Amino acid sequence: MEKYQRIKEIGRGSYGVVYKALNTENDELVAVKKMINRKYHSSKECMNLREVKECTLFDRMRHRTDPYSETEIRNLCFQIFQGLAYMHGTGGYFHRDLKPENLLVSKDVIKIADLGQAREINGEPPYTHYVSTRRYRAPEVLLHALEHDSSVDMWAMGAIMVELFTLRPLFQGSSTTDVIHKICSVIGSPTDTTWSLFNYRFPEFPGVDLSSLLPSASPEAINLISTLLSWSPCARPTAKEALEHPFFYGCSHIPHPQFERVTLSPMIRNRALPVRVRSRI
């Protein structure tokens, strides 16, 4: 704990206090939970806490040697889309920072975490430009559009799905210009029909067939990813529409998803408000 410098308290519960802190070794901002009102007699007892057992999807992918099977990807993404459908619909918010680091995994259950960048669907723009890690940002966010909506979460899901198949980020770049270049090289440069937000000189690329990048993916998976990674925000499916895509045929919708607030683990970043949705597959 010596390497963590507490900045301020960001949450308090019955059994602990959560602090925003700085890892002085790498300047990473983290959340640190200090347990109170309960004694722990061993490190094993602490490690059995549910929030400590959870890790991020990023951690899982980093330690895998083989890509996920399509069945595993279907199970994970089905749960995430259910959470997003609730968040975008009944919840009235969009996340704006979806990435593997903000998805918590425990066994076969995945949860949406860290709503620090979330905004109301009907909120007043302009929104902050810096949202999400660059490789998961939708083009309109990369190019600083004054307005954006829940479709940015759907773009991020397209990038995440590809990463689950390959264990490599699809649009990894060193700058905004580099990421735009990567996007054009994969999905092709936009046309007047697919891009009408504002003028920008895009590099000219025809794009590639996604099936050549994802040889193990089914035609249904390729089709869903292709629509999620659409230049036009309006062309991307909503989370509810994604759940109805043939890729998820055979998955069971849960009539009343159970959402719960989960306390932060020591290494989960600012303000995680995980959404837990179980899938019966």
Question: Known catalytic residues?
Answer: 97
CB 281 within 8 A of CB 251: yes
C-alpha triplet 270, 140, 213: angle, nearest 5°:
90
The structure tokens listed for 152 are 């940015």
DSSP 8-state symbol, 47? H
Residue whose C-alpha is closest to residue 142's, from 120, 167, 159, 165: 159
Distances (CA, A) of 69 to 75, 162, 245, 277: 10, 12, 18, 20
C-alpha triplet 168, 153, 117: angle, nearest 5°:
100
